[in-house]
Structure 1
Amino acid sequence: MNNQKKKILVAPLNWGLGHATRCIPIINGLIDNGFEPVIASDGDALELLKKEFPKLISLELPSYDIQYAEKGRNFKWKMFAQIPKIISAVQKEQKETTKILNTYHFDGIISDNRLGVYSKETPSVFITHQLNVLTGSTSWLTTKLHKRYIQKFNECWVPDVESSPNLSGKLGHPVEAIKNAKYIGPLSRLSKKAKPIVYDLMVLLSGPEPQRTILEEKIILELEYYPKKVIFIKGVVQNKQVKEQIDNVTYYNYMNSDELEDAFNESNFILCRSGYTTIMDLAKLNKKAFFIPTPGQYEQKYLANKFKYEGIIPFCEQEIFKIEMLNEVESYSGFLNYTEEISWKELFDLF
């Protein structure tokens, strides 16, 4: 019976853990609807999905091997300097995809921000919330380049609603519509549960190095002045889960989806990056939070500004964060009423 299932390649970008984690509900949706998903990625993204789905076939794709700036102001220019390397990685990825398609028979491809994972012969989907790619004065150029890649796919799934209010703002709602874009509703692997509050604060770290470590060190220092109960998830995927109790803080290197769902539901509010996947999780769980955007990432700064302006979540820059700023959270509403059911059967009609 298993041989008759349609095989779908699911390939998230390895940039932080957000692309991989938002593919978890898609993989579960495929399984529930009688498909056989096969995972393809590299680095931490691949390791995380292998832990979540140990029974699925997993394949390794070439790494983009992007180096990140230590100072936010250098982020954009360091990224621009690596464009030739990124283009080369996309070309390698395209060759590897062709090889994979020649080895396995796939009935469909779902790529989360991997620009080279598509095929003219196989129905291919690109997932992104960034139809506008913000890079300051060069946004017009990065958006144009991104659009050129998006149009190579049969469909572009935007994990948001088309109407207003929405989560992605101008990132996912360009003035000029993209023909193959389809708004599928926010994606989250988590569910809201009625659980007693155990922790006053949950710290959730994610995103690329070295900024993840820089923020981790800063928050640990600040927590010396915080007397309440804290759960701190570092977002470092390792072979074994490590738990450590230091005073009022419980540290974990990483958590799987079920553990993370419990931690979210048992926490009063969350201190985290303003990455889009985290925002979708917060919205699904109707949570309050405090954002510290990754330095130099225009997208995260834009989203943090958007939600502060809308009175939903406060934020501050990484360099100036102090623990007493968390008192601002009470003056903001947090996320309310952003639930939207995804019609998996309708989505997967493409395959």
Structure 2
Amino acid sequence: MENNGRKKILVAPLNWGLGHATRCIPIIKALLDYNFEPIIASDGDALELLKKEFPELNAIELPSYNITYPKKGKGLRKKLLSDSPRFMKTIKKERRLIKLLAETEGLSGIISDNRFGVRAKDIPTIFITHQLKVLSGSTTWLSTKLHQNIISKFDECWVPDHKGANNLSGDLGHGTFDKIQLKYIGPLSRFQKQKTNKIYDLIVLLSGPEPQRTILEQKLLNELEHFNGNVRFVRGLIKNSQTKQTQNNLTVYNYMTTQELEKSINESALVLSRSGYTTIMDLAKLEKKAFFIPTPGQFEQEYLARRLKDDKIIPSCNQDDFKIEMLNSIEDYSGFKSSPFQTDYENLFSLF
């Protein structure tokens, strides 16, 4: 059941922060450019963000994993373990819904960004991840094995990174992995670097599961009372309408569209944010200087931040330790230098 000859491709990112959804934006745009008909599917803020970016596309709500973080980061592994029975139920619900969608929509392909249940028999299925190795402390071997077992059920795994040594994901996205059809597609970013005057001294970008998003927001707002420069503060809360509050040198937005955010980051001298992988891809594309505060207990973000700090590219610190004066250390780090890469979408989409 194709619409005017256009093949329908389901694109379904995980709703865990906004990174999975935002890195799917260039893929959705490329599908449109190549005359496919993308159907977007997710839940929560991830779905709302994509609906705002692509209001003309069919949008489907998927069952929610309801991922939240403990207030104490070191309890994350235990909480995820206790939540695993609920996750498994959600994955089964996903599978049933995707099977139905495949039939009713006449899908020609499925692209899942870290949604385990978004696959169907007899339809080409793609799994997007930068975590072939899943860090979980002493249980890394087990979490990695489980993740790779899930990935192997998909036809291909697209890794949004460079294949060689000059990469962004390090050990997370590189190594020897059996039974997985890997394709390194290059870093994904919805942004373009612009030559512009620097208007803001700092832009703060927040995202991620609660309650850690709110905990960091409150801490940074308190710290910014002692910052003299002009600041744009993006809370990462997707609502029906945009709100904007200005007090002295600080302007706070609940969210920004891609176009607004691209402009604001380009116009900012420094970036303060989590060390999520999508953020790293975006800031590398824009060649920015930044300071990272990894989400407490999230081994992936802690690893990425530590790697960039050790390589003298981006400084970082633990959430509890952050003081606004630490931004001065950015001068001692190189910042991101872009490594140009053109994703070969024609080759990737030939699977469909």
Confirm or deny a common fold (TM above 0.5): yes
Using the TM superposition, give the Cα deviation of residue 97 of structure 1 relative to its aligned residue in structure 2, in angstroms. 0.5
Q: TM-score, normalised by structure 2?
A: 0.98
Segment drifting more, 302-311 vs 98-107 = 98-107
Using the TM superposition, give the Cα deviation of residue 2 of structure 1 relative to its aligned residue in structure 2, in angstroms. 5.2
Which runs of structure 2 are paired with 1:141-180 in the superposition (5 Å)?
A: 141-176=142-177, 179-180=180-181
Structure 1 121/315 Cα, relative in aligned 2: closer, same or farther at 3 Å?
same
Using the TM superposition, give the Cα deviation of residue 174 of structure 1 relative to its aligned residue in structure 2, in angstroms. 2.5
Using the TM superposition, give the Cα deviation of residue 221 of structure 1 relative to its aligned residue in structure 2, in angstroms. 0.2
RMSD, aligned CA: 1.0
1:305 is matched with 306
2:231 is matched with 230
Which runs of structure 2 are paired with 1:1-351 in the superposition (5 Å)?
A: 3-176=4-177, 179-351=180-352
3-state SS of the aligned residue for 2:4? helix
Number of corresponding residues: 351
Whole-Å Cα distance in 1 between the matches of residues 179 and 263 of structure 2?
A: 38
3-state SS of the aligned residue for 2:233? strand
Whole-Å Cα distance in 1 between the matches of residues 178 and 278 of structure 2?
A: 23
Using the TM superposition, give the Cα deviation of residue 339 of structure 1 relative to its aligned residue in structure 2, in angstroms. 2.2
Using the TM superposition, give the Cα deviation of residue 3 of structure 1 relative to its aligned residue in structure 2, in angstroms. 2.0
Using the TM superposition, give the Cα deviation of residue 90 of structure 1 relative to its aligned residue in structure 2, in angstroms. 0.7
Q: In 2, are the aligned partners of 1:192 and 1:265 still within 8 Å (CA)?
A: yes
3-state SS of the aligned residue for 1:245? strand
Whole-Å Cα distance in 2 between the matches of residues 228 and 165 of structure 1?
A: 34
Q: In 1, are the aligned partners of 2:109 and 2:124 still within 8 Å (CA)?
A: yes
3-state SS of the aligned residue for 2:187? coil
Q: In 1, are the aligned partners of 2:41 and 2:47 still within 8 Å (CA)?
A: yes
Q: Which digits, 9 at most, give the CA deviation of each residue in 1:23-46, with x for residues without a partner?
A: 000000000111110001011100
3-state SS of the aligned residue for 2:79? helix
Q: In 2, are the aligned partners of 1:5 and 1:35 still within 8 Å (CA)?
A: yes
Whole-Å Cα distance in 2 between the matches of residues 44 and 13 of structure 1?
A: 10
Using the TM superposition, give the Cα deviation of residue 81 of structure 1 relative to its aligned residue in structure 2, in angstroms. 1.1
Letter in structure 1 aligned against 2:230: K
Whole-Å Cα distance in 1 between the matches of residues 48 and 111 of structure 2?
A: 18
Q: Which digits, 9 at most, give the CA deviation of each residue in 1:190-248, with x for residues without a partner?
A: 00001110000000001111000000000000000001000100000000000110110
Whole-Å Cα distance in 2 between the matches of residues 146 and 337 of structure 1?
A: 30
Q: In 2, are the aligned partners of 1:19 and 1:112 still within 8 Å (CA)?
A: yes
3-state SS of the aligned residue for 2:150? helix
Whole-Å Cα distance in 2 between the matches of residues 338 and 272 of structure 1?
A: 21
Letter in structure 1 aligned against 2:331: E
Using the TM superposition, give the Cα deviation of residue 16 of structure 1 relative to its aligned residue in structure 2, in angstroms. 0.5
Whole-Å Cα distance in 1 between the matches of residues 94 and 178 of structure 2?
A: 28
Q: Which digits, 9 at most, give the CA deviation of each residue in 1:54-100, with x for residues without a partner?
A: 00000011011223211111111111111111111111111111111
Whole-Å Cα distance in 2 between the matches of residues 67 and 272 of structure 1?
A: 19
Q: Which digits, 9 at most, give the CA deviation of each residue in 1:147-180, with x for residues without a partner?
A: 1110110000000011011000000012445531
Q: Which digits, 9 at most, give the CA deviation of each residue in 1:259-295, with x for residues without a partner?
A: 0000110000100000000000000001010000000
3-state SS of the aligned residue for 1:111? strand
Q: TM-score, normalised by structure 1?
A: 0.98
3-state SS of the aligned residue for 1:4? coil
3-state SS of the aligned residue for 1:350? coil
Whole-Å Cα distance in 1 between the matches of residues 16 and 94 of structure 2?
A: 15
Q: Unpaired segments of 5 or more residues in structure 2?
A: none
Whole-Å Cα distance in 2 between the matches of residues 60 and 206 of structure 1?
A: 20
- Deviating runs (4+, > 6 A) in structure 1? none
Using the TM superposition, give the Cα deviation of residue 102 of structure 1 relative to its aligned residue in structure 2, in angstroms. 1.7
Q: Unpaired segments of 5 or more residues in structure 1?
A: none
Identity of aligned residues (%): 58
Structure 1 268/205 Cα, relative in aligned 2: closer, same or farther at 3 Å?
same
